[in-house]
Structure 1
Amino acid sequence: MFSGADFVISFPSSARVHRILPKEAFYKHLNLSGEIKGKFISDIQRVTLEYSLTAQTLNLELCEAVDEILLLIVELKKRDADPRLFEVIARQNPHRMIFLLRHSGQVRLAIYYSKLYQTQWQPEETLTLQARGINLAVVWEGFIEQIALQIKPTQTLGNIDMRLRRQETQQSLKKKIERIERQTRAEKQPKRKFELYQQLLELKKELEDIT
């Protein structure tokens, strides 16, 4: 558990580091544009390396693919901090990283996997993150499931990339459906209204097929 909060995170105490990383020393080692460096200063209050998850600290089998996962607590000065900050940090670090973002008693989790995924903001006491698996590669995939797909870690078959692509397709279809629904309600011409309605039916069928 994190000191001073009721996080339900089941990481062993042997994995806890709890070391504050000076902002200046932290971003000096990153290749940042002037804009991103400015946002690092204006958006972030403090960065703490909270957990170092390894095969040893989690008592798992060794795995060459993933040798360490870091969990950073990032205290934000503003709730809508630029997500590019965390993308840059994750891309330029050799370790896998989980970000726990905190602002005004609310928290969210973020993970970078080809792009940045974030959970919704929630009260600190409701936050959960489970480390399950026989090695760190499986644990990392479980973190992706919990943060990017927002589901509990599973042992079900299915490539994580395929599931993420399916999720993105679903989100894209939902946005198209919402847009065409608005257009259909606003359309006055019967013929055009019927065409939009047909498009709507096709999109809803496509969404139903992949859900």
Structure 2
Amino acid sequence: MLGLPSTTEVDRVLPKRAFYEHLQLDPATRRSFVDDIESITLRNSIKPSTTGIPAGDVVQEVLVLEVALKGATVPKAALAAIARSNPHRLLFACTRDGRACLAVLLGSLVVGQWQDAGELALRLDPTGMDQTWDLMASQVAYGDEGRAGETVEERHATDEKIERLKERLAKVEARHRKEKQFARRNRLFDEENKLREEIRRLMEGGAK
């Protein structure tokens, strides 16, 4: 699966019940395991003994789980709960009707685009397991091979911060347009400029 080495193949079905009966889940997420997921299969175990890639300082193993879906809905909350409960890094391959999309947890769950399942392939980095995870997750989340000097988690955290700042900026701009009082308009204008500068700084830092 995903063009990964045959030495990493496991192909073991994991009972859904083992997840939703033993994890602390809200009712909607628990229901999602039943309503949205057909089956969960451990497809690959990527680690030093199956790849020859040295263990990392942070990552020792990456597990690839195929999640066969009943419908078109990707059960994000259920997948995030599974990932948070596991000490290893998880990469999900959601499949339905010969198509697949990949997902990884990077603070929040990031889901890639649907493609023909046979077209999906991921590269590994022989340098180490930390680098392998970074490369795999970058391919899923960004469609690239990552950024030098920045882990995929750091990159995603920066992106999320930029989005929060943009949302805050939009609210401040809306208040500025409605405000009639001169001094308050000036304060809001200053706040807008500070937010724009912070967004610019973060975006330029990530582009390096």
Q: TM-score when scaled to structure 2?
A: 0.74
User: Which residue is equivalent to 1:69?
Assistant: 62
8 Å contact from structure 1 (residues 17, 50) kept in 2: yes
Matches of 1:183 and 1:106, distance apart in 2: 45
Structure 1 unaligned runs (5+)? 3-8
One-letter code aligned to 1:60:
I
Write the deviation string for residues 14-51 of structure 1: whole angstroms up to 9, x where unpaired. Answer: 22233333333x33673344724332111211212221
Structure-to-structure mapping, 1:101-180, within 5 angstroms: 101-103=94-96, 107-113=100-106, 115-124=107-116, 127-148=120-141, 150=142, 152-154=144-146, 156-158=148-150, 162-180=154-172
Query: Contact 2:102 / 2:140 at 8 angstroms: preserved in 1?
Result: yes
Aligned pairs for 1:29-40 within 5 A: 30-33=22-25, 35=27, 36-40=29-33
Runs of 4 or more above 6 Å deviation: none
Contact persistence 2:74–2:94 (CA under 8 A): no
TM-score (norm 1): 0.73
Return the alpha-carbon distance in structure 1 between the equivalents of residues 133 and 166 of structure 2: 28
RMSD over aligned Cα atoms: 3.2
1:97 to 73, 90, 102: 90
CA distance in 1, matches of 2:92, 2:25: 21
What is the identity percentage for the equivalent residue pairs of Structure 1 and Structure 2? 23
Counterpart mapping for 1:12-51 below 5 A: 12-24=5-17, 26-27=18-19, 30-33=22-25, 35=27, 36-51=29-44
User: Number of residues paired by the alignment?
Assistant: 200
